[in-house]
Structure 1
Amino acid sequence: MRGDGTREHEGGEAGEIISLVRAATGGDRWSFERLVAIHQEALFRMVYARMQNRADAEDVVQDVFLSAYRGLASLRDPGLFRAWLYRIALNRVRDFMRRRRLASLFGLNHDEAPEDCPDSGPDEFDHLAASRFWAGLNGFLASLPSLQREVFRLRFLDHLGIQEIAAALGRNESTVKTHLYRAIEKFKVVGPRYGLPAQEES
């Protein structure tokens, strides 16, 4: 307990997440707000990377946390809260993109063009290099089958472990490992064509 009366947490530790999830499931609003604070930034990056529109991503993230709050009692394993949260997010992104495609099909889509990736620094050269990197990475991701693409993103961009990816996608760990291996092997071969350095998984 801090001197100001608030509880002190080490953000991101598994034990803390489990304790917060259990408390939030029992009706502790502060604990759920803490879970939001811990995961909001990473979840926004995950959603934004798939939608490329800040306003839409913010709306989806808000909807994800609302859905998580309402459905928290259905989470069987508090240790997989992040994976469960990302699974909700992936479903919401798919729903949103499906509606966007339908709107576009019927000429109802007036959304702005995708935004540029966030500036990586004040130097224009750094910004240009970052833009080229993300353009190359998006090109590589587009070349992958859908499941390989999602596994690769969740592992290397969202930093989920194999168990978390399996839970987020509703697949078994063996399937995740197989698709991750195939994506990595393809990255080694075609990554340089997109201006990307081929690297082994650390």
Structure 2
Amino acid sequence: MGESPSRRPDLDDVTLVARAQDGDVIAFERLVDRYQGPLFRLALRMLRDRGAAEDVVQDALVTVWRQVAGLSDPAAFPRWVYQITTRTTLNRLRARDRRPTDPADPELLDQDQHNRGHGADLRDPATLTEERATATALRAQIEQLPEDLRLCWTLYADHGRSYEEIADIVGVTHGTVRGRIARARQKLAEGMTPWR
């Protein structure tokens, strides 16, 4: 038997979205495989809670499945799935108790980055230790950013989204995004001064 067309690794997002819109569950699963990790990292960065981030991504992907047939432009899928996940994350942030929480375990993000890397790191242990300390300090500074700055910064720096995409995802103007990223950059630079 031949391989299902939706299981081919070379299918682009637009093709998979079009097939998912026609009810192809396998095509939708391929989209989930591609987007679940980045969406989880976004939710984790914002929520600082692994379980809550997993719940948000699951809720967002259920919404995407229910609404994918109504997406008029399959090429807009990446922006659209980020919009849904961002809204779901922000709703969770606003709804949860305002009690203090521990920041996300730095090892979770480090482990995720390592898992996406290639093989063992052969650099000098002292250099690795210094880089890890700097990365931990940067994560702490990012966690201290106000929610609106942290979201824009995370979408820009961690997810490679353009200002236009972020404006569309977050529902603000291009200028607002530019300002938020500039303020985030300034705050991070100030906070990282001791590490230079």
Q: Same fold (TM over 0.5)?
A: yes
**Contact 2:141 2:191 (8 Å CA) reproduced:** yes
Change (3 A) 1:169 1:189: closer
| Offset of residue 188 of structure 1 | 5.6
Whole-angstrom distance in 1 between the partners of 2:138 and 2:185? 16
AA of the residue aligned to 2:104: E
| Offset of residue 10 of structure 1 | 3.8
Give me the identity figure in percent: 28
AA of the residue aligned to 1:153: T
Map residues 46-195 of structure 1 onto 2, 5 A cutoff.
Answer: 46-101=42-97, 104=99, 113-117=102-106, 118=108, 119=110, 125=129, 126-139=131-144, 141-142=145-146, 146=148, 148-171=149-172, 175-176=173-174, 178-187=175-184, 189-195=186-192
**Contact 1:44 1:58 (8 Å CA) reproduced:** yes
**Contact 2:20 2:69 (8 Å CA) reproduced:** no
Q: Which runs of 5+ in 1 are unaligned?
A: 105-110, 198-202
Change (3 A) 1:30 1:97: same
Tell me the SS of whatever aligns to 2:104: coil
Task: Output one character per residue of 1:71-108: Cα deviation in whole Å (capped at 9) or x when no partner.
Answer: 11221211111111111111111221222137x5xxxx
Which residue of structure 1 aligns with residue 3 of structure 2? Answer: 5
Change (3 A) 1:37 1:50: same
Q: Which runs of 5+ in 2 are unaligned?
A: 115-120
Whole-angstrom distance in 1 between the partners of 2:186 and 2:104? 29
* TM-score (norm: length of structure 1): 0.73
Whole-angstrom distance in 2 between the partners of 1:84 and 1:196? 37
* TM-score (norm: length of structure 2): 0.75
The count of corresponding residues between Structure 1 and Structure 2 is 176
